[in-house]
């Protein structure tokens, strides 16, 4: 029996109908997988993209963000409104709230779920992760209500931006001493504090939230660790996300301390015939010498290509998965992009004036470009990504000159 004939009788089950799950199905067909493909999603909605939720969908500029994919033409079965509740790897079955589903190959693409804030379980706190979340928040913006946003990370800044565009009074509360504390060093993040002030947002840092309750004079009261409180018409939590992998408990699929599926260099899990892509999985990066957990859209698009290739043509023709991470954010009238991965060992190099409208930051290790953050400088990102892939060594003096194309700063 030929490999292709054998594959034609095999079933690929994808659990998760977000970007990573949809792209897995699309890539399998584009790479000529001849067997069946079934995508299981917990939400009842047709699969949709998530970045527009905090932008066009939230502000009413778009009704939804459904993927432009003809699943019927691709021969992909969609099973929506089904929650995965368990995995029995020995039986090659996924348990759902509508009964078990068999598989020959299983792709885990369940993404991440928001870290809850005290009060969220009683409906006092809004999240912004799903289409339904965005729909529930639109009336808040339409009514121009005062909003308290908990968390000054990427999603908190994006929601605050949308709320200010809708003329809502906004207060952002952050437990750390600066915005984006988990993503950027102080010397970079401090320059972003000014963005909040310019947008008319009241940013409170070093203030941890302990709970949210119903108030006597206000619909919501946000309680802080220092004993003070903030009144609000609505509260939105943006304090981070964690891999949505709780349903894998007892399955034999190895998870890290962060809850992520421990995938290998070709996105295979510890269980036979089980793979993992997107926000729910970490992978070893030879480029950065560590395991990466990347909660960003680009990772959800790239990983499925590797899994599809592995299933269709095999390991020998599938290179290890080691992308240069990339993400972007629109906040307070600025287009922010980040490429690569940095840590405390890297040398920070400014490229332009952070007080200006456009500037970049480079992180170098032994002279080689490791990561780059750009504000309003997309060309730096496009060139920087290629330089990171090449481990290009830069001349620091030329790289620090914003008038010199980054590619021209290579030694």
The reported pLDDT for the residue numbered 116 is 85
Give Rg (Cα) of the chain: 22
pLDDT surpasses 70 at 85: yes
Tell me the three state secondary structure of residue 343. coil
Asked if 184 and 199 count as a contact pair (C-beta separation under 8 A), the reply is: no
Q: Which CATH number fits domain 3-114+242-317: 3.50.50.60, 3.30.1490.190, 3.40.50.720, 3.30.930.10?
A: 3.50.50.60
The reported pLDDT for the residue numbered 122 is 67
**How far is residue 275 from each of residues 60, 105, 221, 261, 297, measured CA to CA in Å?**
37, 8, 44, 9, 18
Picking from 126-130, 341-345, 399-403, which range would have the lowest pLDDT averaged per residue?
A: 126-130
The reported pLDDT for the residue numbered 215 is 82
The reported pLDDT for the residue numbered 54 is 74
Quick one: pLDDT band at residue 60, thresholds 50, 70, 90? Answer: confident
pLDDT surpasses 90 at 117: no
The reported pLDDT for the residue numbered 16 is 98
The reported pLDDT for the residue numbered 306 is 98
**How far is residue 228 from each of residues 208, 232, 318, measured CA to CA in Å?**
10, 13, 56
pTM over 0.85: yes
From 15, 107, 21, select the one nearest 67 (Cα to Cα).
Answer: 21
Cα dihedral: 295, 300, 303, 309 (round 10): 170
Per residue in 295-347, pLDDT tens?
A: 999 999 999 999 999 999 999 999 999 999 999 999 999 999 999 999 999 99
- Asked if the domains 120-239 and 333-409 are classified in one and the same CATH topology, the answer is no
The reported pLDDT for the residue numbered 5 is 77
The reported pLDDT for the residue numbered 155 is 92
The reported pLDDT for the residue numbered 216 is 79
- Mean of pLDDT values over 388-403: 97
pLDDT surpasses 90 at 401: yes
The reported pLDDT for the residue numbered 335 is 96
Environment class of residue 403 by beta-carbon count within 10 Å: exposed (0-12), middle (13-18) or buried (19+)? exposed
Please count the other Cβ atoms lying within 10 Å of the Cβ belonging to residue 88.
13
Q: Checking phi first, is residue 349 left (phi over 0); if not, alpha (psi -120 to 50) or beta? A: beta
Mean confidence (pLDDT) of the chain:
94
Max mean pLDDT range (57-61, 102-106, 122-126, 235-239): 102-106
The CA distance from 65 to 51, in Å, is 9
Token pair for 382: 């496009």
The reported pLDDT for the residue numbered 119 is 63
From 208, 59, 72, select the one nearest 139 (Cα to Cα).
Answer: 59
Please count the other Cβ atoms lying within 10 Å of the Cβ belonging to residue 32.
11
**How far is residue 262 from each of residues 19, 273, 274, 296, 358, measured CA to CA in Å?**
20, 14, 11, 17, 38
> Domain segments of the chain: what residues?
3-114+242-317, 120-239, 333-409
The CATH T-level fold of domain 333-409 is Enolase-like; domain 1 (3.30.390)
Strand locations in 199-325 (E): 202-205, 209-213, 220-224, 229-232, 234-237, 241-243, 261-262, 274-276, 281-285, 290-292
Please count the other Cβ atoms lying within 10 Å of the Cβ belonging to residue 163.
27
Quick one: pLDDT band at residue 8, thresholds 50, 70, 90? Answer: confident
Token pair for 243: 């891999």
pLDDT surpasses 90 at 123: no
pLDDT surpasses 70 at 68: yes
As beta bridge partners, residue 211 has: 223
pLDDT surpasses 90 at 217: no
Per residue in 138-161, pLDDT tens?
A: 999 999 999 999 999 999 999 999
Residue with tokens 């912004």: 128
The reported pLDDT for the residue numbered 57 is 75
User: Using the 8-state DSSP alphabet, how is residue 47 labeled?
Assistant: P
Sequence-separated (6 or more) residues with CB below 8 Å from residue 78 = 17, 38, 39, 41, 46, 47, 71
Tell me the three state secondary structure of residue 271. coil
Per residue in 277-301, pLDDT tens?
A: 999 999 999 999 999 999 999 999 9
Residue with tokens 């993992």: 276
CATH 3.30.70.270 fits 120-239, yes or no: no
Asked if 381 and 372 count as a contact pair (C-beta separation under 8 A), the reply is: yes
**How far is residue 85 from each of residues 130, 182, 188, 320, measured CA to CA in Å?**
19, 31, 42, 30
The percent of the chain in helix, strand and coil, each rounded to the nearest 5, is 25, 30, 45
């Amino acid at each position: 029996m030929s490999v292709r004939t054998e594959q034609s009788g095999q079933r690929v089950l994808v659990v998760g109908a977000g970007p990573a799950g949809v792209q897995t199905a699309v890539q399998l067909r584009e790479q000529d997988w001849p067997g069946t493909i079934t995508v299981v999603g917990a939400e009842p909605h047709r699969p949709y993209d998530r970045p527009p939720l905090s932008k066009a969908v939230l502000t009413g500029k778009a009704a939804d963000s459904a993927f432009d994919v003809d699943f019927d033409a691709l021969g992909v079965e969609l099973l929506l409104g089904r929650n995965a509740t368990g995995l029995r790897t020995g039986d090659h079955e996924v348990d759902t709230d509508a009964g078990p589903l068999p598989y020959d190959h299983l792709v885990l693409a369940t993404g991440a779920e928001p870290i809850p804030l005290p009060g969220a379980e009683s409906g006092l706190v809004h999240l912004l992760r799903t289409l339904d979340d965005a729909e529930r928040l639109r009336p808040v913006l339409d009514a121009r209500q005062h909003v308290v946003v908990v968390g000054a990370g990427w999603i908190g800044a994006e929601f605050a931006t949308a709320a200010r565009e809708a003329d809502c009074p906004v207060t952002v509360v952050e437990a750390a001493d600066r915005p984006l504390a988990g993503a950027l060093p102080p010397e970079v993040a401090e320059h972003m504090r000014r963005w909040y002030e310019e947008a008319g947002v009241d940013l409170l840092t070093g203030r941890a939230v302990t709970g949210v309750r119903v108030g006597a004079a206000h619909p919501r009261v946000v309680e802080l660790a220092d004993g003070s409180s903030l009144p609000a018409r609505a509260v939105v939590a943006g304090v981070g996300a964690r891999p949505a992998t709780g349903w894998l408990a007892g399955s034999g699929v190895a998870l890290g301390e962060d809850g992520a599926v421990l995938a290998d260099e070709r996105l295979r899990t510890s269980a036979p015939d089980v793979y993992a892509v997107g926000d729910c999985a970490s992978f070893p990066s030879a480029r950065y010498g560590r395991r990466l957990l990347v909660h960003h859209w680009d990772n959800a698009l790239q990983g499925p290509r590797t899994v599809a290739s592995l299933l269709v043509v095999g390991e020998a023709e599938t290179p290890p998965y080691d992308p240069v991470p990339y993400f972007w954010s629109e906040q307070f009238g600025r287009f922010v992009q980040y490429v690569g991965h940095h840590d405390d060992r890297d040398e920070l190099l400014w490229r332009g004036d952070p007080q200006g409208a456009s500037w970049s930051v480079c992180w170098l290790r032994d002279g080689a470009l490791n990561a780059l953050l750009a504000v309003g400088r997309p060309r730096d990102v496009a060139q920087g990504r290629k330089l990171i892939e090449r481990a290009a060594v830069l001349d620091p003096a030329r790289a620090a000159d914003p008038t010199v194309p980054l590619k021209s700063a290579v030694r």
